[in-house]
């Protein structure tokens, strides 16, 4: 079974999706492996994609804390009708995907995959852009525990701690769409 996302950053919505996949698999009751696919793995650093695939993998691995899952990187293709065949080169042939995204669901279903559609959880708060904006505002906060506590509302605490302790939120200070820097 695969779970596909950009994970920019890995937040509680992603954790809920991966937990749904783990529940579906029955934690060992099936021969299907859990494969977490990091999409846009080659994306240039930007406010929408501030972390490298390797950093996102580290976030996911920190959260998994020993849960058996394979993590693969899937670069973008920019050609939706051919995306699934492209992605299969990285995550393997047709099987099962768990997703919360309608477009992804349609693409994979049309390519012969069994699609499990999971409901979005707390979508109003757990959106990548909202969390990145919060992190951008926190990019100048020097009190690590305060920043970890603020981020821990929307992401697993170990992931917030990893980001803050590595200073990964600081790069957001200089990114933006114009105007004055946040902070």
Domains, the chain: 2-117 (3.40.50.620), 128-174 (no CATH)
What span, in angstroms and rounded, lies between the C-alpha atoms of 175 and 169?
11
Tens place of pLDDT for every residue, the chain, 183 residues?
Answer: 999 999 999 999 999 999 999 988 875 555 678 999 999 999 999 989 999 999 999 999 999 998 889 999 999 998 999 999 999 999 999 999 999 999 999 999 999 999 999 876 666 666 777 888 888 888 888 889 998 998 888 899 999 999 999 999 888 887 765 444 444
């Amino acid at each position: 079974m695969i779970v596909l996302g950009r994970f920019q950053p890995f937040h509680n919505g992603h954790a809920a999706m991966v937990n749904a996949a783990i529940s579906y698999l029955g934690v060992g009751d099936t021969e299907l492996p859990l494969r977490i696919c990091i999409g846009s793995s080659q994306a240039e650093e930007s406010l929408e994609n501030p972390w490298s695939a390797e950093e996102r993998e580290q976030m996911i691995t920190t959260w998994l804390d020993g849960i058996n899952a394979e993590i693969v990187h899937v670069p973008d293709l920019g050609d939706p009708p051919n995306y699934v065949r492209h992605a299969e080169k990285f995550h393997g042939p047709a099987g099962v995907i768990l997703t919360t995204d309608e477009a992804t669901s349609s693409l994979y279903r049309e390519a012969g995959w069994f699609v499990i559609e999971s409901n979005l959880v707390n979508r109003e708060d757990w959106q990548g852009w909202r969390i990145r904006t919060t992190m951008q505002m926190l990019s100048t906060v020097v009190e690590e525990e305060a920043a970890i506590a603020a981020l821990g509302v929307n992401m697993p605490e170990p992931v917030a701690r990893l980001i803050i302790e590595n200073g990964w939120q600081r790069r957001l200070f200089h990114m933006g769409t114009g105007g004055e820097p946040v902070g």
